[in-house]
Structures are given as C-alpha cells and as structure tokens.
Amino acid sequence: LKLDSEGHSNVRHQGFLTVFDLISGFGVWNRRFIVLERCDMYYWNHPNDRETKEAEGSISLSRFPSQCVRPVNRDSC
C-alpha cells in the first residue's frame, strides 16, 4: 500500500510580514513582502522586486499539518 499526500489549496494572498532575523549576533525585525500561493509562501524585500527579481526565498507549507493559522502577540516571538 502506497499513500501520497498533496495539497490542493487555491489560496492566494499577499502582503507584508515582519520577521525576526539574527544578524551578527543581534536581533533585527525586517519587513518582507509575502505571496502565499497555494501551499507555498514566497518572499521579497519589496513588492516591486516581485516584478524584476526572483524571490529571496520560499517556504512550502504542504508539510505542516496544522489546519489553523492565527496571529500571535509580539511577546510570543
């Protein structure tokens, strides 16, 4: 028996997300422009970069089983 799992979401959202980066031992909050398309999240430094540059990176959310995504207080970060 072989089972495969695959996400089939048609979700597409975009906006800014503030993320914490560790740079030279110091914590820095940076704002990234995020596009959530299906089960993949792509990010750029600025919305205009999306038209002219490859994404700075991407994260596949298909491997995360949670059905609930909600905001958290900044204290939790």
Predicted pLDDT at 66: 67
Domain 12-62 annotated CATH 3.40.50.720: no
Domain boundaries, the chain: 12-62
- Local structure of 76: helix, strand or coil: helix
Residues of the chain with pLDDT under 50: 3
User: DSSP secondary structure string, 12-55?
Assistant: EEEEEEEEEEEETTEEEEEEEEEEEETTEEEEESSTTHHHHS--
Predicted pLDDT at 62: 80
pTM of the model: 0.64
